[in-house]
Amino acid sequence: MIELRTPTQIEQMKPAGRFVADVLTALREHAAVGVNLLELDELAHKMIKDRGAESCYIDYHPSFGAMPFGKVLCTSVNDGVLHGLPFDYKLADGDLLSVDFAASVDGWVADSALSVVVGTPRQEDLDLIETTTQALAAGIDAARVGNKVGDISHAIASVAREKGLKINTQFGGHGVGRTMHGDPHIANDGRPGRGFKLQPGLVIAIEPWFLHTTDEIYTDKDGWTLRSVDGSRGAHMEHTVAVTDDGPLILTARD
């Protein structure tokens, strides 16, 4: 069921968005060569506790997960692009790290993700991150009253196709509110003018993710991490966005 939020409720969602943005900013600054993925998860866990927030991940157990997630972050490295389960791994020079984080503050959820290169970057990784960032911006710009869900999907895909990237539509954006995942599904490819008509009060997570040379993925033996079938690297960007009469409002905007 698609739910619409009142202006007052959107105001109430802002602290969650701000908190999620602050956590991702802290993680981006902390990620460095030699830092363990479990250390990043511990940092986020501490920030959750200090804020009095609640993790959306730690007990999360959808049908595609082998068991409850058990951590508060998704940390996907290199050929891992989504749902990366943190493990005992120290980041190496040149690693492409994607971090996805969602939390609930005062009963409202926000969800966001970013990708960074640790240490010495490869230009192709920087280009992939930039393309994913541009696709997110295009999708957000299409999140306007009167447009349709397909317009968001088409805007994302247009950026990816211009760069010659393939697009997986199995996992994408979604509604956000009292829970992390709700309707509507926001695929990263679609036909303009199709789907649910965007109305004021719709709050959604828009999240393009792409791999260098494929759109095919498989689940790692950890039961969670999604990896490219050909070993190519991936990037993932996400914001929680409210559709308003004044245009799209990014609730998880980072400084």
Q: How far apart are CA 118 and CA 96, in angstroms?
A: 6
31: CB partners within 8 A, 6+ apart:
40, 91, 97, 99, 116, 118
Span 7-250 CATH architecture: Alpha-Beta Complex (3.90)
138: CB partners within 8 A, 6+ apart:
155, 156, 158, 159
How confident is the prediction along the chain (255 residues), in pLDDT tens digits per residue? 999 999 999 999 999 999 999 999 999 999 999 999 999 999 999 999 999 999 999 999 988 899 999 999 999 999 999 999 999 999 999 999 999 999 999 999 999 999 999 999 999 999 999 999 999 999 999 999 999 999 999 999 999 999 999 999 999 999 999 999 999 999 999 999 999 999 999 999 999 999 999 999 999 999 999 999 999 999 999 999 999 999 999 999 998
pLDDT at 243: 98
Query: How much is the pTM?
Result: 0.97
pLDDT at 154: 98
Binding site listing for substrate: 83, 181
Binding site listing: 83, 100, 111, 174, 181, 207, 238
Binding site listing for a divalent metal cation: 100, 111, 174, 207, 238
245 CB burial (10 A radius; 0-12, 13-18, 19+): exposed
pLDDT at 216: 98
Terminal C-alpha separation, the chain: 33
Calculate ∠ Cα 17-22-28, nearest 5°: 125
Strand locations in 19-131, DSSP E?
54-55, 74-77, 80-82, 96-105, 108-117
Q: How far apart are CA 134 and CA 237, in angstroms?
A: 10
- For residue 131, the SS3 value is helix
Respond yes or no on whether the N-terminal peptide bond of residue 184 is cis (omega within 30° of 0).
Answer: yes
Going from N- to C-terminal start, the domains of the chain cover 7-250
Q: If we measure between CA atoms, which residue out of 105, 92, 96, 83 comes closest to residue 227?
A: 83
